[in-house]
A = this chain, B = another copy of it.
Amino acid sequence: MPPGTAPLDTGETQDARREDPSSEVTPGAGTVATTAGELGRPATIRDVAALARVSHQTVHRFLQGYEGIRPATRERVVEALAALEYRPNLTARSLTTGRSMRIGALTHELDQFGPSKIIQGAAQAARDAGYVLDILSLDMGDPEEIDRALETVTQHDLAGVLALASTDHMAQAFGAANFRVPAFLAGEEDEFASDHPSQLTSVGFPALIDHLAGLGHHRLLHLAGPSAWSAARNRARAFETAVAGHGLVSDGVAHGDWTARSGYEVISALPSDLGFTAIVAANDQMALGALLALGERGLRVPEDISVTGIDDIPDAAYFSPPLTTLRVDFVAQGRRAVEHLLARIAQREPADDDALISQLVARRSTGAAAR
Protein backbone atom coordinates (compact mmCIF):
# COMPACT_ATOMS: atom_id res chain seq x y z
CA MET A 1 0.00 0.00 0.00
CA PRO A 2 2.59 2.58 0.90
CA PRO A 3 3.60 4.81 -1.94
CA GLY A 4 7.15 5.43 -2.70
CA THR A 5 6.58 9.03 -3.24
CA ALA A 6 4.05 11.77 -3.07
CA PRO A 7 4.95 15.18 -4.36
CA LEU A 8 3.05 18.35 -4.62
CA ASP A 9 1.04 20.40 -6.92
CA THR A 10 0.77 23.66 -8.64
CA GLY A 11 -1.52 24.41 -5.83
CA GLU A 12 -5.21 24.31 -5.71
CA THR A 13 -6.36 26.78 -3.20
CA GLN A 14 -9.37 26.94 -1.04
CA ASP A 15 -10.98 29.58 1.00
CA ALA A 16 -11.70 29.19 4.61
CA ARG A 17 -15.34 29.93 4.41
CA ARG A 18 -18.51 28.33 3.32
CA GLU A 19 -21.89 29.49 2.23
CA ASP A 20 -24.46 27.86 4.38
CA PRO A 21 -27.07 30.20 5.74
CA SER A 22 -29.14 27.30 6.90
CA SER A 23 -29.71 28.37 10.45
CA GLU A 24 -31.77 31.06 12.04
CA VAL A 25 -30.21 33.99 13.72
CA THR A 26 -31.72 35.57 16.75
CA PRO A 27 -31.99 39.19 15.80
CA GLY A 28 -30.19 41.46 18.14
CA ALA A 29 -29.06 38.64 20.32
CA GLY A 30 -25.66 39.97 21.05
CA THR A 31 -22.97 41.21 18.79
CA VAL A 32 -22.34 38.10 16.89
CA ALA A 33 -24.92 35.42 16.37
CA THR A 34 -23.55 34.86 12.94
CA THR A 35 -24.89 32.32 10.62
CA ALA A 36 -23.06 29.08 10.55
CA GLY A 37 -20.00 28.92 8.42
CA GLU A 38 -19.97 32.59 7.67
CA LEU A 39 -16.61 34.16 7.37
CA GLY A 40 -16.95 36.18 10.55
CA ARG A 41 -15.27 35.15 13.72
CA PRO A 42 -16.10 31.69 14.83
CA ALA A 43 -18.86 31.41 17.38
CA THR A 44 -17.87 31.55 21.01
CA ILE A 45 -19.46 30.01 23.99
CA ARG A 46 -21.20 33.31 24.66
CA ASP A 47 -22.64 33.53 21.21
CA VAL A 48 -24.12 30.14 21.72
CA ALA A 49 -25.43 31.18 25.11
CA ALA A 50 -27.10 34.24 23.67
CA LEU A 51 -28.77 32.27 20.96
CA ALA A 52 -29.94 29.63 23.40
CA ARG A 53 -31.01 32.30 25.88
CA VAL A 54 -28.97 30.86 28.69
CA SER A 55 -25.77 31.93 30.37
CA HIS A 56 -22.43 31.02 28.93
CA GLN A 57 -21.85 28.94 31.97
CA THR A 58 -24.75 26.69 31.10
CA VAL A 59 -23.28 26.14 27.69
CA HIS A 60 -19.99 25.42 29.32
CA ARG A 61 -21.59 22.90 31.60
CA PHE A 62 -23.22 21.18 28.71
CA LEU A 63 -19.92 20.95 26.92
CA GLN A 64 -18.37 19.45 29.99
CA GLY A 65 -20.96 16.73 29.99
CA TYR A 66 -22.72 17.99 33.08
CA GLU A 67 -25.94 16.05 33.59
CA GLY A 68 -28.04 18.39 35.64
CA ILE A 69 -29.45 20.51 32.87
CA ARG A 70 -33.15 20.61 32.33
CA PRO A 71 -34.14 18.92 29.08
CA ALA A 72 -35.75 22.04 27.66
CA THR A 73 -32.65 24.08 28.33
CA ARG A 74 -30.40 21.41 27.06
CA GLU A 75 -32.25 21.25 23.83
CA ARG A 76 -31.89 24.94 23.18
CA VAL A 77 -28.20 24.68 23.82
CA VAL A 78 -27.82 21.76 21.49
CA GLU A 79 -29.61 23.64 18.77
CA ALA A 80 -27.60 26.79 19.21
CA LEU A 81 -24.42 24.81 19.21
CA ALA A 82 -25.32 23.21 15.94
CA ALA A 83 -26.67 26.36 14.37
CA LEU A 84 -23.51 28.28 15.01
CA GLU A 85 -21.22 25.38 14.24
CA TYR A 86 -19.53 25.97 17.52
CA ARG A 87 -16.00 24.68 17.90
CA PRO A 88 -14.24 25.13 21.21
CA ASN A 89 -11.23 27.38 21.09
CA LEU A 90 -8.48 25.27 22.50
CA THR A 91 -6.21 28.24 22.85
CA ALA A 92 -8.53 29.94 25.25
CA ARG A 93 -9.07 26.74 27.10
CA SER A 94 -5.44 26.04 27.66
CA LEU A 95 -4.84 29.59 28.71
CA THR A 96 -7.07 29.18 31.73
CA THR A 97 -6.46 25.59 32.55
CA GLY A 98 -2.76 25.93 32.08
CA ARG A 99 -2.81 22.61 30.35
CA SER A 100 -2.78 21.98 26.67
CA MET A 101 -3.45 18.83 24.81
CA ARG A 102 -0.37 19.02 22.73
CA ILE A 103 2.83 17.11 23.00
CA GLY A 104 5.98 18.31 21.38
CA ALA A 105 8.25 15.79 19.77
CA LEU A 106 11.80 16.84 19.21
CA THR A 107 13.43 14.68 16.65
CA HIS A 108 15.58 14.77 13.59
CA GLU A 109 16.45 12.77 10.51
CA LEU A 110 12.78 12.44 9.93
CA ASP A 111 13.41 11.23 6.42
CA GLN A 112 14.90 8.06 7.77
CA PHE A 113 12.96 4.92 8.30
CA GLY A 114 13.51 4.46 12.00
CA PRO A 115 12.76 7.95 13.18
CA SER A 116 9.77 8.37 10.96
CA LYS A 117 8.28 5.11 12.17
CA ILE A 118 8.88 6.07 15.75
CA ILE A 119 7.09 9.33 15.14
CA GLN A 120 4.28 7.46 13.52
CA GLY A 121 3.83 5.33 16.59
CA ALA A 122 4.12 8.32 18.86
CA ALA A 123 1.53 10.22 16.89
CA GLN A 124 -0.85 7.29 17.11
CA ALA A 125 -0.46 6.95 20.83
CA ALA A 126 -0.81 10.66 21.36
CA ARG A 127 -3.94 10.83 19.31
CA ASP A 128 -5.42 7.86 21.09
CA ALA A 129 -5.00 9.76 24.31
CA GLY A 130 -6.60 12.86 22.85
CA TYR A 131 -3.37 14.70 22.33
CA VAL A 132 -1.86 16.16 19.24
CA LEU A 133 1.75 15.51 18.51
CA ASP A 134 3.64 18.57 17.38
CA ILE A 135 6.65 17.39 15.53
CA LEU A 136 9.64 19.62 15.68
CA SER A 137 12.16 18.23 13.28
CA LEU A 138 15.59 19.48 14.08
CA ASP A 139 18.21 20.10 11.53
CA MET A 140 21.30 18.73 13.14
CA GLY A 141 24.58 20.22 12.18
CA ASP A 142 23.37 23.65 13.09
CA PRO A 143 24.42 24.01 16.71
CA GLU A 144 21.97 26.79 17.37
CA GLU A 145 19.17 24.69 16.09
CA ILE A 146 18.61 22.88 19.34
CA ASP A 147 18.58 26.08 21.32
CA ARG A 148 16.06 27.63 19.02
CA ALA A 149 13.94 24.53 19.22
CA LEU A 150 14.02 24.63 22.99
CA GLU A 151 13.03 28.26 22.91
CA THR A 152 10.13 27.35 20.70
CA VAL A 153 9.10 24.52 22.93
CA THR A 154 9.01 26.58 26.08
CA GLN A 155 6.84 29.20 24.46
CA HIS A 156 4.19 27.02 22.90
CA ASP A 157 2.80 25.69 26.06
CA LEU A 158 2.86 22.00 25.62
CA ALA A 159 1.61 19.35 27.94
CA GLY A 160 4.92 17.63 27.62
CA VAL A 161 7.94 17.14 25.51
CA LEU A 162 9.19 14.00 23.94
CA ALA A 163 12.86 14.34 23.23
CA LEU A 164 14.03 11.70 20.85
CA ALA A 165 17.76 11.70 21.09
CA SER A 166 19.76 9.47 18.84
CA THR A 167 23.22 10.81 19.33
CA ASP A 168 25.17 11.61 22.42
CA HIS A 169 25.24 15.19 21.37
CA MET A 170 21.49 15.46 21.29
CA ALA A 171 21.04 13.46 24.45
CA GLN A 172 23.35 15.85 26.18
CA ALA A 173 21.62 18.93 24.83
CA PHE A 174 18.23 17.61 25.83
CA GLY A 175 19.48 16.54 29.19
CA ALA A 176 20.74 20.01 29.94
CA ALA A 177 17.58 21.67 28.74
CA ASN A 178 14.92 23.08 30.98
CA PHE A 179 11.70 22.29 29.20
CA ARG A 180 9.53 23.64 32.00
CA VAL A 181 7.06 20.86 31.36
CA PRO A 182 7.14 17.13 31.84
CA ALA A 183 9.67 15.71 29.50
CA PHE A 184 10.63 12.27 28.47
CA LEU A 185 14.03 11.85 27.05
CA ALA A 186 14.14 8.77 24.93
CA GLY A 187 17.28 7.32 23.52
CA GLU A 188 18.11 3.99 22.07
CA GLU A 189 15.93 1.09 22.97
CA ASP A 190 18.41 -1.51 23.91
CA GLU A 191 16.51 -4.44 22.67
CA PHE A 192 19.47 -6.34 21.40
CA ALA A 193 21.18 -7.04 24.63
CA SER A 194 21.61 -10.74 25.14
CA ASP A 195 21.03 -10.48 28.85
CA HIS A 196 17.46 -9.75 28.03
CA PRO A 197 14.72 -11.21 30.17
CA SER A 198 13.87 -13.44 27.30
CA GLN A 199 16.38 -16.22 27.00
CA LEU A 200 14.99 -17.38 23.73
CA THR A 201 17.56 -17.58 21.06
CA SER A 202 14.92 -17.60 18.41
CA VAL A 203 14.50 -13.89 18.63
CA GLY A 204 16.67 -10.83 18.95
CA PHE A 205 20.31 -10.49 18.22
CA PRO A 206 21.22 -13.92 19.54
CA ALA A 207 18.84 -15.40 17.00
CA LEU A 208 20.70 -13.67 14.21
CA ILE A 209 24.06 -14.93 15.37
CA ASP A 210 22.59 -18.34 16.00
CA HIS A 211 21.31 -18.36 12.46
CA LEU A 212 24.76 -17.56 11.12
CA ALA A 213 26.45 -20.08 13.38
CA GLY A 214 24.01 -22.72 12.21
CA LEU A 215 25.09 -22.00 8.67
CA GLY A 216 28.67 -22.73 9.58
CA HIS A 217 30.00 -19.22 9.91
CA HIS A 218 32.81 -18.67 12.38
CA ARG A 219 34.39 -15.36 11.62
CA LEU A 220 32.10 -12.39 11.40
CA LEU A 221 32.56 -8.72 10.62
CA HIS A 222 30.37 -6.15 12.26
CA LEU A 223 29.66 -3.14 10.12
CA ALA A 224 28.68 -0.70 12.84
CA GLY A 225 27.12 2.72 12.86
CA PRO A 226 28.80 5.87 14.11
CA SER A 227 29.82 5.40 17.70
CA ALA A 228 28.27 8.69 18.74
CA TRP A 229 24.94 7.01 18.27
CA SER A 230 23.70 5.02 21.18
CA ALA A 231 21.96 2.71 18.74
CA ALA A 232 25.25 1.94 17.10
CA ARG A 233 26.90 1.17 20.40
CA ASN A 234 24.07 -1.00 21.61
CA ARG A 235 24.06 -2.99 18.45
CA ALA A 236 27.81 -3.39 18.47
CA ARG A 237 27.73 -4.53 22.06
CA ALA A 238 24.93 -6.96 21.38
CA PHE A 239 26.92 -8.29 18.47
CA GLU A 240 30.02 -8.88 20.55
CA THR A 241 28.04 -10.49 23.32
CA ALA A 242 26.18 -12.81 21.04
CA VAL A 243 29.30 -13.73 19.12
CA ALA A 244 31.13 -14.57 22.29
CA GLY A 245 28.16 -16.52 23.54
CA HIS A 246 28.29 -18.73 20.50
CA GLY A 247 32.00 -19.22 20.59
CA LEU A 248 32.38 -17.46 17.28
CA VAL A 249 35.03 -15.00 16.32
CA SER A 250 34.47 -11.36 15.73
CA ASP A 251 36.69 -10.18 12.96
CA GLY A 252 36.57 -6.65 14.22
CA VAL A 253 34.24 -3.80 13.78
CA ALA A 254 34.14 -1.45 10.83
CA HIS A 255 32.35 1.83 11.22
CA GLY A 256 29.99 3.37 8.72
CA ASP A 257 27.58 6.25 9.09
CA TRP A 258 24.32 4.35 8.51
CA THR A 259 24.21 5.17 4.81
CA ALA A 260 24.42 2.73 1.95
CA ARG A 261 27.33 4.74 0.68
CA SER A 262 29.32 4.17 3.83
CA GLY A 263 28.59 0.46 3.71
CA TYR A 264 29.78 0.38 0.15
CA GLU A 265 32.94 2.28 0.88
CA VAL A 266 33.89 0.35 3.96
CA ILE A 267 33.53 -2.99 2.26
CA SER A 268 35.24 -1.79 -0.90
CA ALA A 269 38.22 -0.64 1.10
CA LEU A 270 38.79 -3.97 2.76
CA PRO A 271 41.96 -5.86 1.83
CA SER A 272 41.48 -8.53 -0.78
CA ASP A 273 41.82 -11.39 1.64
CA LEU A 274 38.69 -11.27 3.73
CA GLY A 275 39.08 -13.29 6.85
CA PHE A 276 35.38 -13.49 7.63
CA THR A 277 32.53 -15.27 5.90
CA ALA A 278 29.68 -13.06 7.02
CA ILE A 279 28.99 -9.38 7.46
CA VAL A 280 26.61 -8.25 10.15
CA ALA A 281 25.63 -4.70 9.28
CA ALA A 282 24.07 -2.49 11.92
CA ASN A 283 21.34 -1.43 9.56
CA ASP A 284 19.84 -2.40 6.25
CA GLN A 285 21.16 0.56 4.30
CA MET A 286 24.76 -0.26 5.06
CA ALA A 287 24.03 -3.86 4.19
CA LEU A 288 22.75 -2.66 0.84
CA GLY A 289 25.97 -0.83 0.18
CA ALA A 290 27.90 -3.90 1.26
CA LEU A 291 25.98 -6.05 -1.20
CA LEU A 292 26.95 -3.79 -4.05
CA ALA A 293 30.58 -3.63 -2.98
CA LEU A 294 30.80 -7.38 -2.65
CA GLY A 295 29.33 -7.82 -6.10
CA GLU A 296 31.90 -5.52 -7.54
CA ARG A 297 34.63 -7.51 -5.87
CA GLY A 298 33.34 -10.57 -7.62
CA LEU A 299 31.97 -12.15 -4.47
CA ARG A 300 28.60 -13.81 -4.58
CA VAL A 301 26.08 -13.45 -1.78
CA PRO A 302 25.38 -15.78 -0.08
CA GLU A 303 27.59 -18.39 -1.77
CA ASP A 304 30.85 -16.65 -0.98
CA ILE A 305 29.81 -14.43 1.82
CA SER A 306 26.66 -13.83 3.87
CA VAL A 307 25.26 -10.42 4.74
CA THR A 308 22.71 -9.38 7.32
CA GLY A 309 21.13 -6.09 8.28
CA ILE A 310 19.02 -4.68 11.05
CA ASP A 311 15.68 -2.84 10.92
CA ASP A 312 13.93 -4.68 8.12
CA ILE A 313 13.07 -1.66 6.07
CA PRO A 314 10.39 -2.46 3.51
CA ASP A 315 12.87 -2.53 0.67
CA ALA A 316 15.12 -5.04 2.37
CA ALA A 317 12.98 -7.91 1.15
CA TYR A 318 13.73 -6.86 -2.41
CA PHE A 319 17.42 -6.27 -2.31
CA SER A 320 19.44 -8.52 -4.59
CA PRO A 321 19.53 -10.87 -2.86
CA PRO A 322 16.73 -10.26 -0.34
CA LEU A 323 18.28 -9.37 2.98
CA THR A 324 18.30 -11.43 6.12
CA THR A 325 17.70 -8.94 8.89
CA LEU A 326 16.30 -8.24 12.32
CA ARG A 327 12.91 -6.62 12.29
CA VAL A 328 12.63 -3.79 14.78
CA ASP A 329 9.31 -2.50 15.95
CA PHE A 330 9.87 1.22 15.77
CA VAL A 331 6.20 2.04 15.89
CA ALA A 332 5.91 0.33 19.24
CA GLN A 333 8.90 2.27 20.49
CA GLY A 334 7.27 5.52 19.57
CA ARG A 335 4.02 4.53 21.15
CA ARG A 336 5.75 3.46 24.29
CA ALA A 337 7.68 6.67 24.57
CA VAL A 338 4.45 8.63 24.44
CA GLU A 339 2.88 6.43 27.03
CA HIS A 340 5.75 7.05 29.36
CA LEU A 341 5.43 10.74 28.81
CA LEU A 342 1.71 10.68 29.41
CA ALA A 343 2.27 8.83 32.63
CA ARG A 344 4.70 11.50 33.64
CA ILE A 345 2.26 14.22 32.74
CA ALA A 346 -0.46 12.55 34.75
CA GLN A 347 2.04 11.99 37.53
CA ARG A 348 1.44 8.31 37.68
CA GLU A 349 3.72 5.39 37.28
CA PRO A 350 4.13 4.21 33.73
CA ALA A 351 2.81 0.78 32.92
CA ASP A 352 5.47 -1.84 32.79
CA ASP A 353 6.11 -2.61 29.25
CA ASP A 354 7.08 -5.84 27.71
CA ALA A 355 10.52 -6.04 26.35
CA LEU A 356 10.64 -5.13 22.73
CA ILE A 357 12.20 -7.97 20.90
CA SER A 358 13.46 -7.83 17.40
CA GLN A 359 12.52 -10.66 15.11
CA LEU A 360 14.86 -12.53 12.86
CA VAL A 361 13.73 -12.42 9.26
CA ALA A 362 15.78 -14.95 7.31
CA ARG A 363 16.06 -14.30 3.60
CA ARG A 364 18.49 -15.18 0.87
CA SER A 365 21.45 -13.03 1.76
CA THR A 366 22.61 -15.64 4.22
CA GLY A 367 23.68 -19.14 3.33
CA ALA A 368 26.09 -21.89 4.27
CA ALA A 369 29.57 -20.61 4.95
CA ALA A 370 31.93 -20.98 2.04
CA ARG A 371 34.20 -24.08 2.04
Contact assessment for B120 and A137 in the assembled complex, using a CB-CB cutoff below 8 Å: yes
A26 interfacial contact with B, CB 8 Å: no
Q: Top 8 closest A-B pairs, CB basis?
A: A9-B187, A4-B283, A5-B114, A260-B318, A6-B166, A3-B258, A4-B285, A4-B258
State how many angstroms separate the Cβ of A226 from the closest Cβ of chain B. 8
CB-defined contacts of A174 to chain B, threshold 8 Å: 14
Interface core residue of A3, A174, A260 (most chain B CB under 10 Å): A3
Q: Which residues from 305 to 336 on chain A have a C-beta closer than 8 Å to any C-beta of chain B?
A: 310-311, 313-315, 317-322, 328, 330, 333-334, 336
Contact assessment for B188 and A7 in the assembled complex, using a CB-CB cutoff below 8 Å: yes
Contact assessment for A257 and B315 in the assembled complex, using a CB-CB cutoff below 8 Å: no
* Residue of B7, B118, B166 touching A330 (CB-CB under 8 A): B7
CB-defined contacts of A334 to chain B, threshold 8 Å: 8
State how many angstroms separate the Cβ of A12 from the closest Cβ of chain B. 5
Q: A7-B114, A12-B185 are in contact. Are A2 and B259 (CB under 8 A)?
A: yes
Bound together, the chains give a CA A310 to CA B4 distance in angstroms of: 9
CB-defined contacts of A231 to chain B, threshold 8 Å: 3, 5-7
- Among A48-56, A70-78, A246-254, A287-295, the one that faces the other chain is A287-295
Contact assessment for A119 and B137 in the assembled complex, using a CB-CB cutoff below 8 Å: yes
- Among A57-65, A128-136, A202-210, the one that faces the other chain is A128-136
**Chain B residue at smallest Cβ distance from A134:** B134
- Among A151-159, A213-221, A236-244, A272-280, the one that faces the other chain is A151-159
Bound together, the chains give a CA A11 to CA B163 distance in angstroms of: 10
Contact assessment for A175 and B6 in the assembled complex, using a CB-CB cutoff below 8 Å: no
A115 interfacial contact with B, CB 8 Å: yes
Bound together, the chains give a CA A259 to CA B316 distance in angstroms of: 11
A344 interfacial contact with B, CB 8 Å: yes
A199 interfacial contact with B, CB 8 Å: no
Contact assessment for B187 and A8 in the assembled complex, using a CB-CB cutoff below 8 Å: yes
**Chain B residue at smallest Cβ distance from A295:** B320
State how many angstroms separate the Cβ of A300 from the closest Cβ of chain B. 11
State how many angstroms separate the Cβ of A188 from the closest Cβ of chain B. 5
A102 interfacial contact with B, CB 8 Å: yes
State how many angstroms separate the Cβ of A367 from the closest Cβ of chain B. 16
Interface core residue of A111, A177, A284 (most chain B CB under 10 Å): A111
Contact assessment for B118 and A186 in the assembled complex, using a CB-CB cutoff below 8 Å: no
Interface core residue of A155, A264, A283 (most chain B CB under 10 Å): A155
Q: Which residues from 104 to 147 on chain A have a C-beta closer than 8 Å to any C-beta of chain B?
A: 109-120, 123-124, 132-137, 139, 141
Bound together, the chains give a CA A20 to CA B92 distance in angstroms of: 31
CB-defined contacts of A314 to chain B, threshold 8 Å: 259-261, 285
**Chain B residue at smallest Cβ distance from A111:** B116
* Residue of B134, B175, B178, B187 touching A17 (CB-CB under 8 A): B178
Contact assessment for B317 and A261 in the assembled complex, using a CB-CB cutoff below 8 Å: yes
CB-defined contacts of A117 to chain B, threshold 8 Å: 111
Q: What are 26 sample pairs from A and B whose C-beta atoms fall under 8 A apart?
A: A2-B109, A2-B111, A3-B114, A4-B114, A4-B225, A4-B285, A4-B311, A6-B118, A7-B330, A7-B333, A8-B336, A8-B337, A10-B187, A12-B171, A14-B179, A41-B98, A87-B180, A89-B157, A90-B156, A91-B91, A91-B95, A116-B116, A285-B314, A285-B315, A292-B320, A320-B320
Q: Which residues from 330 to 364 on chain A have a C-beta closer than 8 Å to any C-beta of chain B?
A: 330, 333-334, 336-337, 340, 344, 350
Contact assessment for A4 and B259 in the assembled complex, using a CB-CB cutoff below 8 Å: yes
